[in-house]
Structure formats: structure tokens, C-alpha cells
């Protein structure tokens, strides 16, 4: 994605959390808590990876991309395919994308990366709502 800005990688946080799980300081019930909505998004919008689940080691992880931003309107807060994210980046000025890894077997989930995407252009005019009198 050529339009990425403000990229944050959460690999160190993931490693520390998994070290705590393997050492028994954190229970698997605390980290395997994906919501049904996230699991459905992984099923229909996710992309399988080659990486095994670090908790159950039974299934390969699935990556899910979530988009958020005022300019996206009704699309904001939804899971999207990478191709759709690219299309949104070409059409909108700025929005946030969060990449989450999910295990559909044990419900492990973790934020992998976040970034700001878009053309960088500001909207031409502020959008305002019409009042009832108008």
C-alpha cells in the first residue's frame, strides 16, 4: 500500500503477550476471546496466512482488515478485503486501517498493525447536516 502513513506494528506486544501465555501468567481464555462478529468477518472477508495459531496450533491464522473514518460514512467500522481497502485509499482523503489476526478454531485474536491510508487530500467542504427547518 503506497499511501500508508503513521504505521504502527504491534509485534513486540504480541510476543510479550504470548510469552506470558506460555509461562502461565495469562490464561488462554483471556486471549482467545474473539467476538462472533470478528469470527464471521474472518470467515467472509479474511485472508488465510501461512502462520499457525500460536495458541492452539491447530489452524492457520486469518488476517482481517477493519476500516474506520468519517469520510467512509456507512463503510466505517466494517471489515474489508485488501482490494477494497486499496480502492477506498484511492477515493478518500484519510482513514484508519487495522489488521487483526484471528484463529477461527480457538478464537485467538490480536492487532497486528494499524495505519492511516488515503490520498491525503482534505474534503473540499465540511459536511453538515440539514436541519428540520431546511
Q: What is the pLDDT of residues 15-63, one digit of tens each?
A: 999 999 999 999 999 999 999 999 999 999 999 999 999 999 999 999 9
For 5, phi then psi, to 5°, come to -140, 155
Q: What is the pTM of this model?
A: 0.83
Are 41 and 67 in contact by the 8 Å Cβ rule? The answer is no
* pLDDT at site 48: 96
Q: Rounded CA gap, 28 and 116, in Å? A: 31
* CA dist., res. 134 & res. 111, Å (int): 44
Chain Cα centroid distance, residue 101: 8
C-alpha cell at 70: 468519517
Query: pLDDT at position 125, please?
Result: 53
- Residue 123 has a pLDDT of 62
CB atoms closer than 10 angstroms to residue 100: 23
Amino acid at each position: 500500500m503506497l499511501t500508508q502513513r503513521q504505521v504502527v506494528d504491534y509485534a513486540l506486544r504480541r510476543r510479550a503477550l504470548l510469552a506470558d501465555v506460555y509461562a502461565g501468567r495469562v490464561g488462554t481464555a483471556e486471549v482467545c476471546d474473539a467476538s462472533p462478529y470478528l469470527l464471521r468477518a474472518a470467515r467472509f472477508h479474511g485472508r488465510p496466512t501461512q502462520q499457525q495459531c500460536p495458541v492452539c496450533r491447530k489452524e492457520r491464522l486469518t488476517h482481517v482488515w477493519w476500516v474506520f473514518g468519517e469520510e467512509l460514512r456507512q463503510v466505517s467500522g466494517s471489515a474489508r478485503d485488501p482490494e477494497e481497502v486499496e480502492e477506498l485509499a484511492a477515493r478518500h482523503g484519510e482513514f484508519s486501517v487495522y489488521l487483526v489476526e484471528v484463529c477461527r478454531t480457538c478464537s485467538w485474536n490480536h492487532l497486528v498493525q494499524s495505519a492511516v491510508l488515503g490520498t491525503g487530500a482534505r474534503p473540499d467542504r465540511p459536511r453538515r447536516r440539514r436541519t428540520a427547518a431546511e
